[in-house]
C-alpha cells in the first residue's frame, strides 16, 4: 500500500468488512487502485468497491459483498471529480448485476432442466440498438388450452433469470401460461450495460418477440414484474397503450420511483437522490394505464421497498379493475414464497383476464 498518498478524510468503521478508501489530494480524485485499498481481514477476496451514497459531507461506500463498509467524512463531496465518479458508478448500486458471485457467467446462470422444466427454449433476442438478450421461453404444461396466455416476466435488480426459474415453473403450473423470462442487458448472459433507457428497449424487444413468435402472437399477454421489474413493467405498458394485446399487469413489491426509494432504504443517502439519473418514475406513469386489470401484490414486511409505495401506486392507478393482495409476513424477496401467492395470480389470470365477470 502507498503510505505516502496524501489523504483528506476521516474514516468511520461500520462493522465487519471495513475498507479504507482514499481521496487523493494530489490527484484531486478518488483513488480506486487495488494498491491503495486496505481490507479488513474478514473482507479478503472483495476486489470490487462501489460508491454508494453521499451523506452529509462524506461518501458511503459498499464492497462487492454488499456490506456497508466505510463512511468517508470528507469535504470533497462537491468536487467535480467526486460527482463524476458518483454519477458514473451509481448504476452499479441500482443494477448489481454481478451479485451473487458468478451471476454473469455461464456456470452462474441455472438452466430450466435443473428445476424439472423440459419444454423450453433457450433464446437470444436482438434489440434495435445492437444488444443480444438471453431469455428462457417456458411452455405451459397443458398445451390443450384453446385460450392461450403468455406471461412476460421481469425480475428484480440482482441475479439473473436462472435464479427465478422456480418462480416461472410455479407460474406456468398454476396459470397454464407460457412464460417468457427476459434477461436485461448487462445481466446474466445478455450483452451490454444496464440503464433505464436500455432496459426499456429490452422490455419492448421482449414484448415484440411475443407478438411475432408463431406460438405466442395470438395469445393474451400478461406483464409481470417484481421490484425493479415492476417499474420496467409499468413503463412498458404505458408505452403500449391502445395496442389491444396486453391483457393484464401484475406488480409485486415495486416502488414509486428510484429517487423516492433511496432515502427509505438508507436515510443518509437522501443527499444522493437528486443526483440519481435513473428515475423509474412509476408514480407518474401508472395513472396513464386505464384499460387493463392490474394486480398489486405487497409484502408488508418488505425491508427494501416500503409497503407504502405499493399502496400509493394502488391509489394512483385509475383502471376499473385493480386488485390488492397483501401478505402480512412477506419480505422483499420472500413474498413469492408466501402461502397463497401463486393462487392469487392464478385467480387474477382466470377470473380477471380470461373469464372476467
Indicate if 169 and 33 belong to the same structural domain: no
> 3-class DSSP state for residue 134?
strand
Per the annotation, the verdict on 89 as an active-site residue is no
Indicate if 166 and 126 belong to the same structural domain: yes
Residue 180 belongs to a domain: yes
Per the annotation, the verdict on 33 as an active-site residue is no
**Secondary structure letter of residue 1 according to DSSP:** -
Look at residue 39 and tell me whether its pLDDT is greater than 60. Answer: no
Residue 272 belongs to a domain: yes
Residue 1 belongs to a domain: no
- The pLDDT, as a whole number, for residue 244 is 93
Residue 54 belongs to a domain: yes
Task: List, as own/partner pairs, every contact residues 24-32 make where C-beta atoms lie below 8 angstroms and the sequence separation is at least 24, other chains included.
Answer: 28/79, 28/81, 29/81, 29/82, 29/85, 30/81, 30/82, 30/85, 31/5
Task: Work out how many domains the chain is built from and give that number.
Answer: 2
Mean pLDDT value of segment 266-270: 57
Beta-strand relationship, 246-252 and 294-299: parallel
**What is the residue range of 302's domain?**
112-354
Q: Which of 91, 227, 235, 298 is catalytic?
A: 227
Indicate if 189 and 323 belong to the same structural domain: yes
Indicate if 50 and 133 belong to the same structural domain: no
Mean pLDDT value of segment 136-153: 86
| pLDDT digit string, tens, across residues 74-95 | 333 344 444 444 445 556 668 8
Indicate if 176 and 277 belong to the same structural domain: yes
| pLDDT digit string, tens, across residues 106-128 | 999 999 999 999 999 999 999 99
**C-alpha angle 339/345/350, rounded to 5°?**
130
Look at residue 57 and tell me whether its pLDDT is greater than 60. Answer: no
Indicate if 82 and 192 belong to the same structural domain: no
In 167-317, beta strands by DSSP E: 178-182, 220-226, 246-252, 294-299
Indicate if 148 and 76 belong to the same structural domain: no
* Lowest-pLDDT choice from 34-38, 94-98, 258-262, 329-333: 34-38
Look at residue 26 and tell me whether its pLDDT is greater than 80. Answer: no
Residue 315 belongs to a domain: yes
Residue 99 belongs to a domain: no
Look at residue 59 and tell me whether its pLDDT is greater than 70. Answer: no
Give the CA radius of gyration of the chain. 22
- The pLDDT, as a whole number, for residue 271 is 62
Name the more confident of 138 and 70. 138
Q: Which of 40, 155, 309, 332 is catalytic?
A: 332
Q: Which of 190, 282, 302, 309 is catalytic?
A: 302
Per the annotation, the verdict on 126 as an active-site residue is no
**C-alpha angle 293/136/64, rounded to 5°?**
95
Reported pTM: 0.78
Do 215 and 183 form a contact (C-beta atoms < 8 A)? no
Indicate if 198 and 326 belong to the same structural domain: yes
Look at residue 98 and tell me whether its pLDDT is greater than 80. Answer: yes
Indicate if 127 and 74 belong to the same structural domain: no
| pLDDT digit string, tens, across residues 244-262 | 999 999 999 999 998 888 7
Look at residue 13 and tell me whether its pLDDT is greater than 50. Answer: no
Name the more confident of 121 and 275. 121
Indicate if 324 and 205 belong to the same structural domain: yes
Indicate if 38 and 165 belong to the same structural domain: no
Of the candidates 160, 103, 166, the one whose C-alpha atom is nearest the C-alpha of residue 138 is: 166
Indicate if 75 and 118 belong to the same structural domain: no
Residue 52 belongs to a domain: yes
Residue with cell 424487444: 205
Mean pLDDT value of segment 148-160: 95
Residue 228 belongs to a domain: yes
Look at residue 134 and tell me whether its pLDDT is greater than 80. Answer: yes
| CATH assignment of the domain containing 251 | 3.40.50.1820
- The pLDDT, as a whole number, for residue 313 is 98
What gap in Å lies between CA 99 and CA 198, rounded to an integer?
20
Amino acid at each position: 500500500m502507498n503510505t505516502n498518498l496524501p489523504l483528506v478524510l476521516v474514516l468511520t468503521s461500520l462493522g465487519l468488512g471495513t475498507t479504507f478508501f482514499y481521496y487523493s489530494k494530489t490527484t484531486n480524485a478518488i483513488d480506486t487502485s487495488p494498491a491503495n485499498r486496505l481490507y479488513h481481514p474478514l473482507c479478503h477476496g472483495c476486489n470490487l468497491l462501489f460508491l454508494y451514497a453521499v451523506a452529509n459531507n462524506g461518501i458511503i461506500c459498499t464492497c462487492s459483498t454488499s456490506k456497508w463498509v466505510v463512511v468517508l467524512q470528507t469535504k470533497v463531496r462537491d468536487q467535480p471529480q467526486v460527482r463524476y465518479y458518483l454519477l458514473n458508478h451509481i448504476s452499479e448500486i441500482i443494477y448489481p448485476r454481478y451479485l451473487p458471485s458468478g451471476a454473469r457467467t455461464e456456470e452462474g446462470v441455472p438452466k430450466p432442466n435443473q428445476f424439472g422444466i423440459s419444454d423450453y427454449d433457450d433464446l437470444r433476442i436482438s434489440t434495435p440498438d445492437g444488444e443480444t438478450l438471453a431469455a428462457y421461453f417456458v411452455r405451459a404444461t397443458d398445451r390443450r388450452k384453446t385460450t392461450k396466455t403468455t406471461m412476460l416476466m421481469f425480475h428484480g435488480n440482482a441475479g439473473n433469470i436462472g435464479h427465478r426459474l422456480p418462480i416461472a415453473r410455479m407460474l406456468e403450473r398454476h396459470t397454464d401460461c407460457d412464460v417468457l423470462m427476459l434477461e436485461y442487458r448487462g445481466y446474466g448472459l445478455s450483452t451490454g450495460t444496464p440503464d433505464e433507457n436500455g432496459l426499456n428497449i429490452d422490455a419492448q424487444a421482449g414484448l415484440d418477440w411475443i407478438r411475432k413468435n408463431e406460438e405466442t402472437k395470438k395469445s393474451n399477454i400478461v406483464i409481470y414484474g417484481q421490484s425493479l421489474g415492476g417499474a420496467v413493467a409499468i413503463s412498458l405498458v404505458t408505452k403500449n397503450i391502445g395496442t389491444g394485446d396486453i391483457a393484464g399487469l401484475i406488480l409485486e413489491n415495486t416502488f414509486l420511483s428510484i429517487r423516492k426509494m433511496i432515502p427509505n432504504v438508507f436515510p443518509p443517502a437522501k443527499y444522493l437522490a437528486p443526483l440519481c439519473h435513473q428515475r423509474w418514475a412509476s408514480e407518474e406513469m401508472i395513472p396513464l394505464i386505464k384499460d387493463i386489470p392490474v394486480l398489486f401484490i405487497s409484502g408488508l414486511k418488505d425491508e427494501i421497498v416500503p409497503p407504502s409505495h405499493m399502496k400509493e401506486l394502488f391509489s394512483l392507478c385509475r383502471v376499473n379493475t385493480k386488485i390488492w393482495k397483501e401478505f402480512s409476513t412477506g419480505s422483499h424477496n420472500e413474498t413469492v414464497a408466501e402461502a397463497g401467492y401463486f393462487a392469487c395470480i392464478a385467480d387474477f389470470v382466470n377470473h380477471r383476464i380470461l373469464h372476467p365477470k
